[in-house]
Chain A
Amino acid sequence: MNALTRFYLERFLLSRRRCWLRFDTLLTVLGVVISVAALIVTFAVFRGYETALKDAILGTNAHAYVFAWGEDGMTAADVDTLAAYFEGRPEVAVFAGLVSTQAMVLRGERQHGVMLRGIDTEAEAMPTRYADYITEGRGRLVGDGEAVVGASLAQSLGLSVGDTLRVVSPLNAKPSLMRLFRLQQRSFRIVGLYRSGMHEFDSRLVVVTPAAARPFMAGSGEFTWVEVKLRADAVDQADLLALKWEKDLGNSYQVHSWIFFNRELFALITLEKWILFIILSFLVLIASFNVASSVSTTIIEHQREIGIMKTFGVTNRTLHNIFLGRTVLITALSVLSGEFVGWALAQVLTRQNFYQLKGDVYMLERIHVRFDVQTWLLVFVVAMIIVTTASLLPLRRLGRLQVIDVMRNG
């Protein structure tokens, strides 16, 4: 770019006239602005969903689960063995044995299948963010007669803190001989509500103490599995660690990570994100035709100007650069405004209450958005390349223009 090109473009952009702010220019780039905005919104929503979902999954679940072989669950001895193993491991933050089983809750005519969990809520640290999700009452269970209930579950049962909840073993559960004589029905007093944003938990979770949950277990074990929380820097290696632990423990236990359980889900989200990105890039392509045709018009309109510049020695190459520069500047401005509009729209999306996601389909109810520099850059670069490439063809006109015919007679 030579000094004249720089001078021209700087004046073009900054002069008092602001010729690029004219109505027809704005109309031309509207398509670019809208399609870029659509790209940004889509990307932000997908990224937001992805991160919020990961956040919720990692908050409501532990990072790794250790199971014993067979259906009876874990004995206290199993848990001791695992404790001895995990105690010294630097990547492990917290671990705990837990009871998890299916049960039913009754309320008048209504009955609900629930996820009954026996958790040690008095522990110093827990493998999940349980405590963060208590929105009402308290999360700590003092006696075996207390329960914390998912907020949506409580709402659909019409129960709140202080009410009594009746839990029974599901009718189709096969009671073992041992359990046949044990208690299969029990009432709990609700002391807290749990809301994580994960539909599955909020609508199905009932937390009691491990001792209170044990009678509802199918097997003869003390715990269903052992949950492990990893240190933050090890979370993304959970699947590798799971394999390693399995081997270290002599294959006496099965270890599965959160990645193992959610791999397909995240792969699907990523795939959808990129498919939408490609589809929406076609919108940018279509919008770029408009810009390209306006480049043609601009050149015709500026024939006289081009002629003048040629007479004082501007080469075809410099003319090409000048008009390419005009296009690139206008395109850059419109892509940036499109990104801004997209950002604003995404803000509106997260703040509105008219439209919520279906929790049972999307697992989350709120729409989350997330922006990162990579997205801005990616959209900017892709849009710039598409629009600039589309305008290169009409720019070739410049070389063929018979300017002297224009200069001849005004």
Chain B
Amino acid sequence: MPLLEARGLAKTYSEGGESIEVLRGAGLVVEAGDTLAIRGRSGSGKSTLLHMLGLLDLPDAGSVLYDGQPAPTNDRAASAFRNSQVGFVFQFHYLLDDFTAEENVAMPAILRSGKRQRSLAASRDLLGQVGLGDRLGHYPSQLSGGEQQRVALARALVNQPRVVLADEPTGNLDSEHSAEIISLLLDMNRTLGQTFIIVTHDESLAARMKRVMLLEGGVLRPVGD
């Protein structure tokens, strides 16, 4: 049974009498341990699709299934699901400004386990793995863009989610830093078998994924092989 399945996702935005059909029956199947790149023109609906897969947004029609079961739709259940099963990474390394790197990474773990010390320890461990072991007490404003993105990645991984959804995670980084992030992701995939779905424009990143799909005209289709 696939880890994640999307069937006939549709989404239409209407604004000021004009309506834009962003998704018209997009579907995909992702097995556990897969790495998938999603490409597409700007405005084609990649972010919209990713939010639906992560239960941040609801489709007008169609469904998202995890382990063959329809994903929860109410706030409480969907939040708990996101907390334990999904990790998000965004293009703009979103961190909480008033918290240190260590605290930022620990938050999803505190939310999940309720155990602060253990969560902070896990956070330090993970920040060490992404090469920021000496920046634990720094605030986001004291970190470079690449460093912030590595903190965000650590936060996405701290609860060992089964699937990581990344929206152009290297879009804002120079090639050296993006290579760093990519190797980190692939490392995780190899060692922990985590599933990655990555929206990207970055050719080199897409090329290193097992599968690539293109979002065009509101539907997804495989690229290459």
Contact = CB atoms under 8 A, between A and B. Distances in A.
B143 interface: no
Contacts of A410: 90-92
B29 to A, nearest CB: 23
Contacts of A17: 98, 139
A2 B95 contact: no
A3 B79 contact: no
B108 interface: yes
A314 interface: yes
Interface in B144-161: 155-156
A323 B81 CA distance: 23
Contact of B96 (A308, A313, A315, A318): A308
Interface string A310-324: 111111111000000
A87 interface: no
Give the one of B79, B84, B87, B100 with max A CB within 10 A.
Answer: B79
Interface string A1-30: 011100110011001010100000000000
Contacts of A309: 96, 107
A138 interface: no
Interface string A399-410: 000011001111
Given A15-B98, A407-B94, A312 B103 contact: no
B194 interface: no
Contacts of B80: 313, 315
A305 interface: yes
A19 B75 CA distance: 29
B141 to A, nearest CB: 10
Contacts, number: 87
Contact of A308 (B83, B91, B94): B94
Give the one of B88, B91, B115 with max A CB within 10 A.
Answer: B88
A170 interface: no
B114 interface: yes
A404 B114 contact: no
A404 B98 contact: no
Given A308-B94, A316-B75, A404-B51, A15 B99 contact: yes
A316 B74 CA distance: 11
B122 interface: no
Contacts of B98: 11-12, 15, 17, 19
B68 to A, nearest CB: 22
A312 B76 CA distance: 12
A307 interface: yes
Per CB-CB distance, the 6 closest pairs between chain A and chain B, nearest first, are A313-B83, A410-B92, A3-B114, A312-B108, A311-B88, A4-B111
30 contacts: A2-B114, A3-B110, A3-B114, A7-B110, A11-B103, A17-B98, A305-B96, A305-B97, A309-B96, A311-B56, A311-B88, A311-B90, A312-B83, A312-B87, A312-B88, A313-B79, A313-B80, A313-B108, A313-B111, A314-B83, A314-B111, A315-B79, A315-B80, A316-B79, A318-B111, A403-B56, A404-B51, A408-B47, A409-B47, A410-B90
Given A3-B115, A15-B100, 4 more contacts: A8-B107, A312-B107, A312-B111, A314-B79
Interface of A: 2-4, 7-8, 11-12, 15, 17, 19, 304-305, 307-318, 403-404, 407-410
Interface of B: 47, 51, 54, 56-57, 75-76, 79-84, 87-88, 90-92, 94-100, 103, 107-108, 110-116, 139, 155-156
